[in-house]
Structure 1
């Protein structure tokens, strides 16, 4: 468990509210789930990895109301099962965080249709599936919120990841469309765009991009990128979680349809 500044600021704010976080077994997703739990929410962590059970158990042992569901968010039936579980547990849903995501690195000539579709299925189609299942539950809530993970690559595509960039641009468009459709039901929809975050995914990126972009030793390429960030550091999972706590709170009640960067100034718009 990590220190969560935002959950202290919003301590008790989310008491009685129910949140579902995909990709919640580790990394950013676990940090988000922890932050909402610390701020008083009941949280269902959803992940395809069995370690999500251990992550939920650690938070329960710390005194938080956290459960888990084992599900592949790109699988329609498993998504339905995850939402049935939160309905059984707590009778509804107030906050959906679509955080699950994957990336692969490939030059264009070697990028297969299967690999392209796999990334889009997890990063974009799964967001649609979860939003669709969440909609009737959120409409029954007095304060429904959807938060969808895009990326800095939802702002600007990068080399060797056309499929990932397409998937993250898609999340922003999907979020804008749903923000307009669901606003009459009182549901706010926003997306968030992390940059470099201290996670296993970025360790993979450093290795894969480094081997393709040049003769980089482990850690050298990511340090070069970090040196280009105005704030000169990568994000922690808690940095992302703090933004989402604000967006889901009453303080963010007039914000919808936005894509918000959380990247230390990598992209400014």
Structure 2
């Protein structure tokens, strides 16, 4: 890997779900590596707060959009290109998790998990990929989950959606193998994010456990007995988007403290 100070200078990265959590950590890492970054998300206030936190001196653009709506996606990507130029890197990070026993998983919950986690990835990739192929360079990283590699109880819809993201990743990597575009997935385990806290609150509400007990129960399932930090996921993403990582494609890399091997 190159040791230059700004290895992603002249590269434009789009990060969906960039306003908080893993997306915000990835955005910070890419900015620190010299990239121009467009943040996409539904909450314009969160995006703007993240832009200010990253620093006004950096080339950062905010494009509010719901990744499940095709017209939103097309508008956001057009805005990104107008503001910061051709898109070289796409990080499909926008996602949502909701728990329910299978018997209580109604069609609405099922469709939400598919729409946000899988269809959003599909729509954003379609918006970015053709120009990447035309220019002969592109890096697409899909933020999946260990739920896309193994199963977890009470999150059937989420697991199905994330398994779909990994399937999309593998198939598209083969289609683009000779184009200069790579397509990979990172698969974090439970990560210290607002999404994790929401999951813990659901456990507390359904079981009557304390928040500390719920955290401890999830951590015991991890060989390292801890949650993943967002920066650890961001570091893996940085490696995958580097120009020198051109031979790595079609992979689903587990970032899980050994939970998935």
TM-score by length of 1: 0.92
**In the alignment, which residue of structure 2 is the partner of 1:116?**
110
The answer to whether the 8 Å contact 2:137/2:179 transfers is: no
| Secondary structure in structure 2 of the residue aligned to 1:184 | coil
- Correspondences of 1:187-226 after superposition (within 5 Å): 187-212=181-206, 214-226=207-219
**Does 2:59 align with 1:70?**
no
TM-score by length of 2: 0.95
Cα shift at 1:90: 2.4
Q: How many residues align?
A: 260
**In the alignment, which residue of structure 2 is the partner of 1:55?**
50
| Cα distance in 2 for residues equivalent to 1:79 and 1:196 | 28
**Does 2:227 align with 1:234?**
yes
| Cα distance in 1 for residues equivalent to 2:102 and 2:241 | 38
Cα shift at 1:209: 2.7
Give the 3 Å change call, closer, same or farther, for CA 141–35 of structure 1 in structure 2. farther
| Cα distance in 2 for residues equivalent to 1:10 and 1:32 | 19
Question: What 5-or-longer segments of structure 1 have no aligned partner?
Answer: 1-5
Larger deviation, residues 108-117 vs 215-224: 215-224
**Does 2:251 align with 1:258?**
yes
The answer to whether the 8 Å contact 1:94/1:141 transfers is: no
Cα shift at 1:27: 0.6
**In the alignment, which residue of structure 1 is the partner of 2:142?**
148
CA deviation vs aligned residue, 1:143-195 (integer Å, no higher than 9, x gap): 30100011111011211111000000000000111101112221100011000
Cα shift at 1:109: 2.4
- Correspondences of 1:130-145 after superposition (within 5 Å): 130-145=124-139
Question: What 5-or-longer segments of structure 2 have no aligned partner?
Answer: none
| Cα distance in 2 for residues equivalent to 1:57 and 1:77 | 27
Cα shift at 1:56: 1.1
| Secondary structure in structure 2 of the residue aligned to 1:219 | helix
**In the alignment, which residue of structure 2 is the partner of 1:103?**
97
| Secondary structure in structure 2 of the residue aligned to 1:67 | strand
| Secondary structure in structure 2 of the residue aligned to 1:148 | strand
| Cα distance in 2 for residues equivalent to 1:186 and 1:9 | 22
| Cα distance in 2 for residues equivalent to 1:97 and 1:124 | 13
Give the 3 Å change call, closer, same or farther, for CA 193–10 of structure 1 in structure 2. farther
